[in-house]
A and B are shown apart, each in its own frame.
Chain A
Amino acid sequence: MYETVIGLEVHLALSTNSKMFCSCPAESQKNEANTASCPVCLGLPGSLPTINEHAVEKGIMFSLALDCQVPKRTQFHRKHYYYPDQPKNYQISQYDHPVGEHGKLSLSNGRQIGITRCHLEEDAGRLVHPSYVDYSLVDVNRAGTALIEMVTEPEIESSDEAREFLRKIRAIAQALGISDANPEEGKMRADVNISLRKAGEELGTKVEIKNLNSFKSVQRSIEFEIKRQTRILEDGGKIRQDTMGWDDGGQKTYLMRTKEGEADYSYMPEPDLPPLIISQEQIKQIKAKTPELPDSKLARYLELKIKEQDAKQIAIDLHISKFFDEVSTSYSGNSQTIANWLTGDIAGYLNNNQLKIQETKLSPQNLRKLLELIDSKTISGKVAKDILEDVINGHDPAKLVEERALGQISDNSAIIAIAQKVIDDNPELVERVRANPKAINALLGLVMRESKGKANPELVRKTLQDILA
């Protein structure tokens, strides 16, 4: 009945060593409060910002990856608001000359979402509110760390699209190495602008949902707002241009402020930072340094005839795709086999243990060896699955097979001996197999158990058939 119109603003913490405008370390959120500070990020009188060139480079790289135009000249502005988490009471951000403009990103359904702009800015500090006291505390460790903010056109049409868009942005940021883009650690946050309209009508009044820190909350808050706004419109009401927050516990949006309460940021060109001139040469260098993007990986995997579902799952994860590529270059077997393991048992293990592949000791070499042990019929698939956990924990599969004597028994005489024993011990079963040849699986299972899973199952079957024939 109503069409949903969504625009996203995504903030990514840039993975730079130092802050955006001073040389304090950027990764210091977990350190003791206020240890990563200097006159600049404390906003002391007389201090001046200087631009972190690595942050600018990452900003340009990200903009280019989103098909943005990177201007010849980019400039910083001051955005004013009074709040104690911002020592200067203004944030150095970008206004009318951002680092990237007019980009786009394609979704899997073929729709293109326009990227309005990408701009660099500094993050604020953190307020701490101790209990039972009449004050709050400021920790400036995060103040001044580099952020890139990306804003889309109002062209996203559903919560699913929003979620996919965010996943893609995260994948791109990670592939480029510009940001960990990890919402759980606060390295990625999103604001959602959402309005409803009847087909063919002009854009409705939008509501902004601020500071969403998980993909799930983005999705849920959109779904909630669609219902809320639909109800209001159907009752003949009007949507107010409000700013909302998301209550994760109650799974609902709540009013943060009305339009009247909106701050006048009084943007002003930052006089302490002359505009930056970006040369074609610099853009060329950055392009040359740009790592492969997820979409290009996906195309490559599809060419390797990997199932689309698996290819997507691998391509979107920087570490899994890197892992895949490393195994793939040295493994002569079928690429789909690698994909099966990565998206199957390995993914299952990681999921169950809340781990990421890069957090384990699994090496591409060991996975390749494991696959080769199966291919050479040294071990069965079952044994491989049994020892997978140990391989993930850093053990060399070849050594495991040797130490634990897990190699398949392909020696005829050994298998004949076990098979004969099982036949001798189970006359009733033998009778049943004679009546119904399909029942041979019961005998086969016993032989496998007797051999502790090491016997080559094909050989066992053939041997049993021979003896009983």
Chain B
Amino acid sequence: MTAHEIVSKIKSKKLSAEELISQALKKAKIVQEKYNAFITIDDKAINKAKELDTKISNGEELGLLAGVPVVVKDNICSKDLRTTAGSKILETFIPPYNATVVERLEAAGAIVIAKANMDEFGMGSSNENSAYGIAKNPWDSSRVPGGSSGGSAIAVATGVVPFALGTDTGGSVRQPASFTGTIGFKPTYGQLSRFGVVAYASSLDQVGVIARSSQDLALAMEAMSSHDKNDSTSIKNTNLEFLKSVASKKDLTSIKIGLIKELCNEGNSDDVLGILQETQKQLEGLGASVETVSLENVRYGIASYYLVAPAEASSNLARYDGMIYSNRVGENSEGQIDIMMKTRGELFGPEVRKRILMGSYALSAGYYDAFYGKALKVRKLIANDFARAFESYDFLMTPTTPSVAYKIGEKTDDPLAMYLDDIDTVLANLVGIPAISLPMGQSKDNLPIGIQFFAPALKDETLLQLSNIIEQNSTNFAPIVKI
């Protein structure tokens, strides 16, 4: 069922929230068994469902998302529900507060049933860096589901929930969506509040949504997006009306789409290039014109990203030292410095330690200008390229990833190759613009392939419209994977 269908069934009392949530929990447990999609499944969700049922029988007014079960990535704080960010260091952390996005989903009547598996602190693109075990791709369980929001993507692909929250720092929503045949949406930076989202790289982090339907995506955005005074980077006066606009267009007449030359040639698998061509044809069939456009600085995207993100991460993760909260390794007698070092050395995973080291180096005195400072300059250049291109095009497109989901373990020995896979997605985060990955087809081996579209900042609605038009003109768009 889509979120829209659930809400209408709940409101018309064709289905009780209790029934629905207990089914969702049951399915979550099966999916957990097979794919390790979750870090925590919350059986207490059933109590919230009962409360909702009481509200319904009392005839109280219901929210946009009444009774919709949702899964939230485990780096988004949920009050009284363990939030680990995929790390051992937060194994016992139970937030005393809700992230704004969770608060708003719950206020709209949604019920969080589970916290999704993820790469530790969002650092990874395969979900192999989780301290809570590797998650598996439901299309082929020998393959990775993508990351870092791997668990969220699995939950949506298998139909446990109609949509799930992820976070996207360099593609962490779009890439797993691409690997699991779902829609992955990263809004404009500041469109969704980051308050309560465990920070990885603050200037790049953005909450995103994974869904199977464009209209559900709009529903989720409608419930969550408006200014949050607790987040100083939250956009003010964001009066977007996602629900109203998502289905307001039927085709792509007079829409101009630019295919980013530097990212649409070699470097992509044949399967991916094939789907890219098919997509181009489909878009043209819907009335759009598609042209190739060159953005020469995009080739520096990865280099810039892998300086900015680790630098900010080294700062954001400094707080996990076993002093005030978080797990601790060591005895009092060892003293504060040794305890801090042991805690961080033993409870952070290898990828996190690596990025903290890289980032600390990039920020250290005397190196700032050469690394972090330069990366910020490159970021500006890339943003300028995009701004110029958007003078001529409504959307820009690339593959979401250069290839389909790979085998578990296939790239763990080649971290650079794994970093390079983010080449298409990091751009949206560096520039701060919205981007969406749409499931446009499958490879010869029946693995899903996503195509990514960028829109100018604050044009989030147009990406959802585009998604909806393509969805309405496709068969078997974002199917539920049978388990």
Is the C-beta of B483 less than 8 angstroms from some C-beta in chain A?
A: no
B40 at interface by CB-CB < 8 Å = no
Hey, which chain A residues are within 8 Å of B340, CB to CB?
82
* B231 touching A48, Cβ below 8 Å: yes
Option from B83, B336, B337, B364 in Cβ contact (under 8 Å) with A266: B364
Question: Nearest residue in B to A135 (C-beta to C-beta)?
Answer: B332
Name A122-138 residues within 8 Å CB distance of B: 134-136, 138
Min Cβ gap A468→B in Å is 88
Across the interface, which residues of A come within 8 angstroms of B333, CB to CB? Answer: 134
B194 → A minimal CB distance (Å)? 6
Is A110 at the interface (CB under 8 A from chain B)?
no
**What does the 1/0 interface line of B351-373 toward A look like (CB < 8 Å)?**
00000000010011100100010
Given contacts A78-B315, A80-B318, A87-B319, contact A46 B232 (CB under 8 A): no
CA distance A171 to B230 in the complex (A): 36
A271 to chain B: which residues have CB within 8 Å? 201-203, 233, 312
User: Which residues of chain B come closer than 8 Å to A82, judged between CB atoms?
Assistant: 318, 321, 337, 340
The interface residues of chain A lying within 8 Å CB-to-CB of B428 are none
CB <8 Å contact, A87 and B99: no
How far is it, in angstroms, between the C-alpha of A266 and the C-alpha of B356 when the chains are bound?
A: 13
**B364 in contact with A48 (CB, 8 Å):** no
Contact between B323 and A84 (Cβ–Cβ < 8 Å)?
Answer: yes
Q: With A and B bound together, what is the CA distance between A136 and B336 in angstroms?
A: 9
Hey, which chain A residues are within 8 Å of B133, CB to CB?
A: none
- Chain A neighbourhood of B348, CB < 8 A: none
Structural contact, A42 and B324, CB atoms closer than 8 A: yes
Tell me which residues across on chain A come within 8 A of B97, comparing CB atoms.
Answer: 39, 44
Instruction: Select A50's contact among B83, B199, B203, B230, beta carbons within 8 Å.
Output: B230
Bound-complex Cα distance A138 to B99 (A): 26
Q: Given A268-B372, A272-B233, does the pair A45, B195 have CB atoms closer than 8 Å?
A: no
Structural contact, B315 and A90, CB atoms closer than 8 A: yes
Determine the residue in chain B with the shortest Cβ distance to A265: B365
Q: Indicate if the CB atoms of B363 and A268 lie closer than 8 Å.
A: yes
With the chains together, A43 CA to B93 CA distance in Å?
Answer: 13
A45, A49, A84: the one contacting B83 at CB < 8 Å is A45
Residue contact A44 to B315, C-beta cutoff 8 Å: no
Query: In the complex the two chains form, what is the Cα distance from A39 to B94 in whole Å?
Result: 12
Contact A43 B198 (CB under 8 A): no
Residues of A within 8 Å of B230, CB to CB, are: 48, 50
With contact pairs A89-B318, A271-B202 given, residues A46 and B364 touching in the complex (Cβ less than 8 Å): no
Which residues of B390-405 are within 8 A (CB) of A? none
- Counting CB contacts under 8 A, is B144 at the interface? no
Q: Is the CB of A51 within 8 A of B232?
A: yes
Inter-chain contacts of A264 with B (CB < 8 A): 364-365
Give bound CA distance, A264 to B232, whole Å: 28
Contact (Cβ within 8 A) B324 A84: yes
> Do A272 and B364 form a contact, CB below 8 Å, given A43-B324, A46-B99, A138-B323?
no
- List A104-120 residues whose CB lies under 8 Å from chain B: none
Q: Are B319 and A267 in contact (CB under 8 A)?
A: no
- In the bound complex, residues from chain B placing their C-beta under 8 Å from that of A89 are 318-319, 321
- The answer to whether B319 touches A266, judged by C-beta atoms less than 8 angstroms apart, is no
A46 touches B318 (CB 8 A): no
Residue A47 CB within 8 A of the other chain: yes
- Please pick, from A43, A134, A138, A267, the residue contacting B368 in the complex, using a CB distance under 8 A: A267
Interface size on B, residues (CB 8 A): 46
Q: Cβ of A46 and Cβ of B76 under 8 Å apart?
A: yes
Total contacts A-B at CB 8 Å: 107
* From B202, B336, B372, contact of A272 by CB (8 A): B202
In the complex the two chains form, what is the Cα distance from A264 to B361 in whole Å?
A: 11
A412 to B357: give the CA distance in the assembly, Å: 97
Contact string against B for A residues 269-282, beta-carbon threshold 8 Å, 1 for contact and 0 otherwise: 00111100000000
Contact present for B198 and A46 (CB under 8 Å): yes
User: In the complex the two chains form, is A48's CB within 8 Å of B232's CB?
Assistant: yes
Chain B contacts for A272, CB-based, 8 A: 194, 199, 202, 231-233
Contacts of A47 in B (CB 8 A): 195-196
A134 near B332 (CB under 8 angstroms)? yes
Q: Quick check: is A88 within 8 A (CB to CB) of the other chain?
A: yes
B232 near A84: Cβ-Cβ < 8 Å: no
Could you say which residues of chain B place their CB within 8 Å of the CB of A78?
Answer: 315
How far is it, in angstroms, between the C-alpha of A267 and the C-alpha of B367 when the chains are bound?
11
B180-224 interface bits toward A, Cβ cutoff 8 Å, 1 = contact, 0 = none = 000000000000001111110111000000000000000000000
Instruction: Note all chain A residues with C-beta closer than 8 A to B203.
Output: 271
> 1/0 contact trace for B308-324 toward A, CB 8 Å?
00011011001101011
A48 engages B194 (CB within 8 Å): yes
Give bound CA distance, A112 to B337, whole Å: 44
CA distance A84 to B325 in the complex (A): 11
Contact with A along B7-37 (1 / 0, CB 8 A): 0000000000000000000000000000000
Residue pair B198, A266 in contact (C-beta under 8 Å): no
- Alpha-carbon gap, A42 to B323, bound state (A): 11
Q: In the assembly, what is the distance between CA of A268 and CA of B364, in Å? A: 10
Chain A residues with Cβ below 8 Å from B201 are 271
CB distance from A264 to the nearest CB of B (A): 5
Least CB distance from A20 to B in Å reads 13
B199 touches A46 (CB 8 A): yes
Which residues from A are CB-within-8-Å of B76? 46
Q: Report yes or no: B318 in contact with A88, Cβ–Cβ below 8 A.
A: yes
CB-nearest residue of chain B relative to A81?
B318
* A39-B97, A274-B233 known; A45 vs B198 contact (CB < 8 Å): yes
Output the least CB separation between B118 and chain A (Å).
14
Whether the Cβ atoms of A46 and B95 lie closer than 8 Å is yes
Q: Is the CB of B85 within 8 A of A273?
A: no
**Contact B325 A268, beta carbon cutoff 8 Å:** no
List which B284-306 residues lie within 8 A (CB) of chain A: none
B96 touches A266 (CB 8 A): no
The docked-state distance in angstroms from the alpha carbon of A51 to that of B365 is: 27
Query: Chain A nearest CB: distance from B331 CB in Å?
Result: 8
Question: B347 in the interface, Cβ–Cβ < 8 Å?
Answer: no
In this assembly, does B3 line the interface, its C-beta being within 8 Å of a C-beta of chain A?
no
| In the complex with contacts A45-B77, A45-B85, A88-B319, A273-B325 CB distance below 8 A | no
In whole angstroms, how far apart are the Cα atoms of A81 and B435 in the complex? Answer: 36
CA A68 to CA B319, docked complex, whole Å? 35
Q: A267 contacts which chain B residues (CB < 8 A)? A: 363, 368
What residue of chain A has the Cβ atom nearest to residue B99's Cβ?
A46
Residue B90, interface by CB 8 Å? yes
Given the complex of chains A and B, what is the CA–CA distance between A265 and B363 in angstroms? 9
Residues on A with C-beta less than 8 A from B202 are 271-272
B90, B197, B321, B364 — most chain A CB neighbours (10 Å): B321
B315 touches A46 (CB 8 A): no
User: Bound complex: CA of A87 vs CA of B340, how far in Å?
Assistant: 12
A124 to B34, CA, bound (A): 48
A51 neighbours in B (Cβ, 8 Å): 232
- Does B388 make an interface contact (CB < 8 A)? no
B229 located at the interface, meaning its Cβ lies under 8 Å from any Cβ of chain A in the complex? yes
Q: Which residues of A contact B83 (CB under 8 A)?
A: 45-46
Find residues 406-449 in chain A having any chain B CB closer than 8 Å to their own CB: none
Could you tell me if A138 and B321 are in contact, using CB atoms closer than 8 angstroms?
A: no
* Closest chain B CB from A55 CB (angstroms): 14
CB neighbours (8 Å) of A42 from chain B are 324-325
Chain A, range 241-275, C-beta contacts under 8 Å to B = 264-268, 271-274
Mark each residue of chain A from 43 to 63: 1 if its CB lies under 8 Å from any CB of chain B, else 0.
111111111000000000000
Chain B residues closer than 8 Å to A43, beta-carbon distance? 319, 324
Interface pair A90/B318, CB less than 8 Å apart = yes
What would 21 A/B residue contacts be, using CB atoms closer than 8 Å? A39-B96, A39-B97, A42-B325, A43-B319, A45-B77, A45-B83, A45-B85, A45-B93, A46-B75, A48-B194, A48-B230, A51-B232, A80-B363, A87-B323, A264-B365, A265-B365, A267-B363, A267-B368, A271-B201, A272-B202, A272-B231
For the complex of A and B, list the 4 residue pairs with the smallest distance between their C-beta atoms, beginning with the closest: A89-B318, A271-B202, A266-B363, A271-B203
Q: Told that A44-B96, A138-B324 touch, could you supply 14 new A-B pairs with CB distance under 8 A?
A: A39-B96, A45-B95, A46-B75, A49-B232, A50-B231, A50-B232, A87-B323, A88-B319, A140-B324, A266-B360, A268-B312, A272-B199, A272-B202, A272-B231
